């Protein structure tokens, strides 16, 4: 009797995981895409007058969310699993991709030199970035915890580590405290954990499309400092 009950529960669990995965895929394709129209001759000329800029992207709670093996399963099925060695111990992370992250990366890589900058350990950040990149050579430049500045019991990210000309670099990060040294170069984004309806990355595409034409990103982003305490 109990073996039958267990078999039914296992079948229900399997079916539910399939439904969740299918739902995530449906949500991904149903959302309206950003229309990247061809540039007019005037815009082409404008773009030739400015430097190609660098877009710095955080990982955790910005592009992905991950949780350790053994933690309570409060989430849908992960998009991928990574196995790394941390302090000589094998650790497994279940990683969930923020909705539309693949499309977002593909789009912004046409406009910017894309860089990953995470306060996480290199072994973890590398494994996550490799899976997000998926052989597309989008996330080739990467910076990790050792490139951060440790102060007041937390890590901060100095954008001069990546680009000496702050007029041409910006960062998207869910944690304002990590870019407190360069707020005029930051684009805040709400932290993401597991909301399949999230469209934050898509919402940033019009802003990023426009910023590539500016001479100094700080002339625009510096006007929005009040937004950094929102999330």
**Tens of each residue's pLDDT in the chain, 231 residues:** 555 545 444 544 444 454 344 444 444 444 557 887 888 999 989 899 999 999 999 999 999 999 987 665 565 789 999 999 998 899 999 999 999 999 999 999 999 999 999 999 999 999 999 999 999 999 999 999 999 999 888 999 999 999 999 999 999 999 999 999 999 999 999 999 989 999 999 999 999 999 999 999 999 999 887 777 754
What pLDDT is stored for residue 16 in this prediction?
A: 43
36, 60, 165, 209: the catalytic one is: 60
What pLDDT is stored for residue 70 in this prediction?
A: 67
What pLDDT is stored for residue 109 in this prediction?
A: 97
58 is catalytic: yes
Same domain, 53 and 138: yes
**Contact at 8 Å (CB) between 212 and 112?**
yes
Same domain, 102 and 129: yes
Is 166 among the domain residues?
yes
Is 72 among the domain residues?
no
d(Cα 212, Cα 216) in Å, to the nearest integer? 9
Same domain, 110 and 222: yes
58, 113, 173, 184: the catalytic one is: 58
Is 75 among the domain residues?
no
Domain that holds residue 21: 1-30
What pLDDT is stored for residue 135 in this prediction?
A: 96
Is 106 among the domain residues?
yes
Same domain, 110 and 218: yes
d(Cα 60, Cα 69) in Å, to the nearest integer? 16
The domain tally of the chain equals 2
Same domain, 200 and 166: yes
Is 93 among the domain residues?
no
Assigned token pair, 166: 């702050």
Same domain, 10 and 46: no
Is 76 among the domain residues?
no
CATH number at residue 201: 3.40.50.1000
What pLDDT is stored for residue 32 in this prediction?
A: 58
Same domain, 174 and 214: yes
Same domain, 136 and 166: yes
Is 189 among the domain residues?
yes
Same domain, 48 and 135: yes
60 is catalytic: yes
Is 83 among the domain residues?
no
Same domain, 162 and 216: yes
Same domain, 19 and 102: no
Assigned token pair, 130: 């490799």
Same domain, 49 and 161: yes
Q: Dump the DSSP string for 88-118.
A: TEEEEEEEEEPTTHHHHHHHHHHHSEEEEE-
Q: What is the dihedral of CA 42, 43, 46, 51, to 10 degrees?
A: -160
In eight-state DSSP terms, residue 2 is H
């Amino acid at each position: 009797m109990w073996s039958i009950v267990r078999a039914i529960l296992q079948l229900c669990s399997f079916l539910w995981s399939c439904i969740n995965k299918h739902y995530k895929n449906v949500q991904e394709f149903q959302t309206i895409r950003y229309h990247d129209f061809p540039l007019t001759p005037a815009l082409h000329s404008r773009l030739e007058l400015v430097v190609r800029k660098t877009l710095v992207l955080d990982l955790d709670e910005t592009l992905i969310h991950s949780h350790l093996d053994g933690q309570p399963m409060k989430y849908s099925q992960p998009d991928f699993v990574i196995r790394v060695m941390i302090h000589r111990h094998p650790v497994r992370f279940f990683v969930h991709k923020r909705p539309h992250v693949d499309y977002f990366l593909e789009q912004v890589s046409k406009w910017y030199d894309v860089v990953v900058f995470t306060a996480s350990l290199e072994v973890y950040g590398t494994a996550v970035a490799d899976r997000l990149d998926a052989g597309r050579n989008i996330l080739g430049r990467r910076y990790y915890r050792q490139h951060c500045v440790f102060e007041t019991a937390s890590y901060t990210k100095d954008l001069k580590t990546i680009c000496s000309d702050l007029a041409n670099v910006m960062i998207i990060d869910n944690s304002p405290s990590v870019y407190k040294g360069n707020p005029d170069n930051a684009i805040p984004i709400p932290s993401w954990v597991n909301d399949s309806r999230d469209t934050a990355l898509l919402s940033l595409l019009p802003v990023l499309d426009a910023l590539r034409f500016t001479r100094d990103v700080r002339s625009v982003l510096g006007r929005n400092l009040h937004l950094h305490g929102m999330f």
